[in-house]
Structure 1
Amino acid sequence: MKKQLLTVAAFLFGFTAMLTAQNTTKEAQARAWIKSNARELKINSDADLNLRFSRKSLSGETLRFQQMVNGVPVFDSELVVHFSPNGEITHTDFNVVKDLGTINTVPQISKEKAVAISDKEIGVSGMVTFQENKLFVYTKLGTPKLVYRTVTSFEEKSGSWEVIIDAANGQVLSVKDVAIYCGSDSHDGHAHSKEEGGTKNQKYFMPVEKAEALAFETGSAMVFLSDPLSAAHVAYGTTGYVDGNDADTAQLNAQRVNVTLPQVENTAGTYKLKSSYVEIKNLENPNKGLFTQASPDFAFTRNQDGFEAANVFYHTDNSLRYINETLGIPCVQNVDNSHANVLWFDPSGENGADNSHYSNGTLVFGEGCVDDGEDGDVIWHELGHGLHDWLTGGSLSQVNGLSEGSGDYWAQSHSRALNQWQSTDAAYHYMFSWDGHNTCWGGRTTNYAAVYPGGLVNQVHSDGQIWATVLMKIWDVIGRTKTDKAFLEGLSMTNSATNQQNAAIAVRQAAIDMNYPCEDIKTMTQKFAAAGYTMPAVALRINCPGDQTVTADGSGNYTVPSFASITNAISQNCDAVVTQSPAVGAIVGVGTHTVTMTATSGTSVNCTFNLIVNTNLGTEDFVKNSFLVYPNPASSTLTIKGDGFENEEVEIYNMLGQKVMQRALITNESSIDVSKLASGVYTLYFVNAKVSNKFVKQ
Structure 2
Amino acid sequence: MNNSKQILVAILLVFTVVSSYALPHNSVKPSEISIITHDLAVPEYIELRKSYEIESPFGMHITYKQFIHNKEVLFAGVRIHWKKNGTYSIQDFLIRENIENVSDESTMLLSTESGLREVRMANNPDLVYPTTQFIDLDGTMLLEIDDYKHAKKDTTLHSQVFWLNPINTANTSYGGNYTDNLDQTNPSLDSQLRWVSNTVQFENDTFFFESEFLSFTDISAPVDGHFFSINDSVQANRDNDWFEYLNVYYHINVMGQYANDLGYDALTQHLEVDVHAFGTADNSAYSPDDHTLQFGIGGVDDGEDGEVVIHEFTHSLSEVASPDNTVGNERAAMEEGSCDYFAKAYSRSLNDNTPNKIFSWDGHNQFWDGFVINQKRDYPIDLKGSKDGDRDMWATALMCAHDFIGRNAMDSILLEHFYYQKANSTMAEMAQIILTIDSGDFGNRYHSQLKQCFVDAGFIARGASVSNPIQKGFKVLNQNGFIVGDGNLTIEINTPASYKIYNTAGQLIQSGNPTSKLTLSPSDFSKGLYVVYFTINGKSVSQKILR
Sort the TM-score into its range (normalised by shorter chain): 0.7 to 0.9
Partner of 1:521: 447
Task: Give 1:606 shift.
Answer: 7.2
Counterpart of 2:302 (choices 372, 377, 386) is 372
Task: Give 1:311 shift.
Answer: 1.0
Q: 1:279-358 residue pairs with structure 2 within 5 A?
A: 279-324=215-260, 326-332=261-267, 341-358=269-286
1:236 maps to 2:174: yes
Partner of 1:129: none
State the alpha-carbon separation in 2 of the partners of residues 367 and 351 from structure 1.
Answer: 7
- Give the 3-state SS of the residue equivalent to 2:229 in structure 1: coil
In 2, are the aligned partners of 1:152 and 1:161 still within 8 Å (CA)? Answer: yes
State the alpha-carbon separation in 2 of the partners of residues 248 and 601 from structure 1.
Answer: 71
In 2, are the aligned partners of 1:77 and 1:97 still within 8 Å (CA)? Answer: no
In 2, are the aligned partners of 1:160 and 1:359 still within 8 Å (CA)? Answer: no
Instruction: Give aligned pairs, total.
Output: 464
Letter in 2 for 1:365: F
Partner of 2:130: 160
- Give the 3-state SS of the residue equivalent to 1:509 in structure 2: helix
Q: 1:82-161 residue pairs with structure 2 within 5 A?
A: 82-90=81-89, 92-96=91-95, 98-105=97-104, 135-139=107-111, 144=116, 146-149=118-121, 151=123, 157-161=127-131
Q: 1:496-575 residue pairs with structure 2 within 5 A?
A: 496-518=423-445, 520-534=446-460, 537-542=466-471
State the alpha-carbon separation in 2 of the partners of residues 438 and 420 from structure 1.
Answer: 20
Letter in 2 for 1:101: E
Deviations 1:177-230 (A, max 9, x none): 623468xxxxxxxxxxxxxxxxxxxxxxxxxxxxxx443332232111211111
Deviations 1:416-467 (A, max 9, x none): 111242xxxxx21211111122232222222121121111101211201111
1:45 maps to 2:67: no
Task: Give 1:172 shift.
Answer: 8.8
Counterpart of 1:254 (choices 169, 185, 191) is 191
Deviations 1:499-556 (A, max 9, x none): 21211122222222223454x11211121122111376223522869599xxxxxxxx
Between Structure 1 and Structure 2, whose CA radius of gyration is higher? Answer: 1
Change (3 A) 1:54 1:344: same
State the alpha-carbon separation in 1 of the partners of residues 223 and 75 from structure 2.
Answer: 35
Task: Give 1:58 shift.
Answer: 2.2
Partner of 2:73: 74
Change (3 A) 1:99 1:378: same
Change (3 A) 1:241 1:543: farther
Most deviating of 69-78 and 456-465: 69-78
- Give the 3-state SS of the residue equivalent to 1:234 in structure 2: coil
Task: Give 1:358 shift.
Answer: 1.6
Structure 1 unpaired stretches of 5+: 1-20, 108-134, 183-212, 334-340, 422-426, 549-578, 583-592, 609-698
Letter in 2 for 1:328: G
Counterpart of 1:275 (choices 193, 200, 211) is 211
Change (3 A) 1:465 1:352: same
In 2, are the aligned partners of 1:332 and 1:342 still within 8 Å (CA)? Answer: no
- Give the 3-state SS of the residue equivalent to 1:76 in structure 2: strand
1:495 maps to 2:422: yes
Task: Give 1:158 shift.
Answer: 2.4
Letter in 2 for 1:514: D
In 2, are the aligned partners of 1:323 and 1:331 still within 8 Å (CA)? Answer: no
Structure 2 unpaired stretches of 5+: 1-23, 478-492, 497-514, 519-534
Task: Give 1:294 shift.
Answer: 1.9
Letter in 1 for 2:286: Y
Letter in 2 for 1:137: L
In 2, are the aligned partners of 1:91 and 1:506 still within 8 Å (CA)? Answer: no
Q: 1:386-401 residue pairs with structure 2 within 5 A?
A: 386-397=316-327, 399-400=329-330, 401=333
Deviations 1:64-94 (A, max 9, x none): 1111134332222222232333232345241
In 2, are the aligned partners of 1:375 and 1:432 still within 8 Å (CA)? Answer: yes
- Give the 3-state SS of the residue equivalent to 2:230 in structure 1: coil
Deviations 1:219-263 (A, max 9, x none): 2321112111111222222x421111111111111211111212x
In 2, are the aligned partners of 1:315 and 1:380 still within 8 Å (CA)? Answer: yes
Task: Give 1:300 shift.
Answer: 1.5
Change (3 A) 1:466 1:177: closer
Larger RCO: 1 or 2 (CA < 8 Å, sep 6+): 2
- TM-score, scaled relative to structure 2: 0.75
State the alpha-carbon separation in 2 of the partners of residues 442 and 24 from structure 1.
Answer: 51
- TM-score, scaled relative to structure 1: 0.60
Identity across the alignment (%): 25
State the alpha-carbon separation in 2 of the partners of residues 601 and 484 from structure 1.
Answer: 36
Change (3 A) 1:604 1:273: farther
